[in-house]
Amino acid sequence: MDSCYEIDGMIPVVDPTAFVHSNAILIGDVIIGPGCYIGPAASLRGDFGRIVVQEGANVQDTCVVHGFPGVETVIGPDGHIGHGAVIHGAQIGRNVLVGMNAVVMDRAEIGESSIIGAAAFVPEGKKIPARSLAVGTPARILRELTDQEIDWKSRGTAEYQQLTRRSMASMKKVQPLTEIEANRPCYEDSSYQTLGQTK
């Protein structure tokens, strides 16, 4: 990858089964686990505290992950960090979804299988129990999630785990075409749709 940097002798670690886009930035004490997806323009700065992205998690486009000295920032297994989110010194539990442009601050703890709504702000030290839907600024717990909602989240994360494999197998830098080719195919419909929709 093009944007991986050592600092103070600390070099990022990326599992061979993880996909890190060439435009993502990894600095210092960053550990990317098996099957993870790190999207374009994501910035994971392990220049103060350690950053750990555990198995099957994804950190999408333009996300920022950082922390203070002595504080470990962890995204747990099957974690799902939506476009533009900021995770700073927080503990993101197993199977959590952090929505687009949400901010989760230092020493916050997000319990397993919770969803943090898009553009929510989780303040420093806030603890969100497992299976919670938290929304707003500052984030408040709206209710407990249903099994259907957790299943919806898990299917979305499975799509990103498949994207990891697709990206490793076929993504490459190319020049754009100058016109649309005849019979240009479309991607197949996904089983992961907006919550509440069915096929």
Answer whether 52's CB lies under 8 Å from 34's CB: no
| Two structure tokens written together for 91 | 């503990």
Q: Report pLDDT digits (tens) over 136-169.
A: 999 999 999 999 999 999 999 999 999 999 999 9
Judged against a pLDDT cut of 50, whether residue 177 lies above it is answered with yes
Judged against a pLDDT cut of 50, whether residue 106 lies above it is answered with yes
Please check whether the domain covering 4-144 is classified as CATH 2.160.10.10.
Answer: yes
| Two structure tokens written together for 19 | 């996909």
pLDDT reported for residue 197: 43
Find the mean pLDDT for residues 68-76: 95
- SS3 labels along 114-154: CEECCCCEECCCCEECCCEEEECCCCEEEEECCHHHHHHHH
Closest CA to 106 of 84, 127, 129, 88: 88
Q: Report pLDDT digits (tens) over 109-144.
A: 999 999 999 999 999 999 999 999 999 999 999 999
Regarding predicted confidence, which is higher, 126 or 185? 126
Judged against a pLDDT cut of 50, whether residue 73 lies above it is answered with yes
| Two structure tokens written together for 156 | 């979305």
pLDDT reported for residue 196: 47
**Entry pTM:** 0.92
Please enumerate in sequence order all residues whose Cβ is within 8 A of that of 67, keeping only pairs 6 or more positions apart, or say none. 48, 49, 50, 51, 73, 88, 89, 106
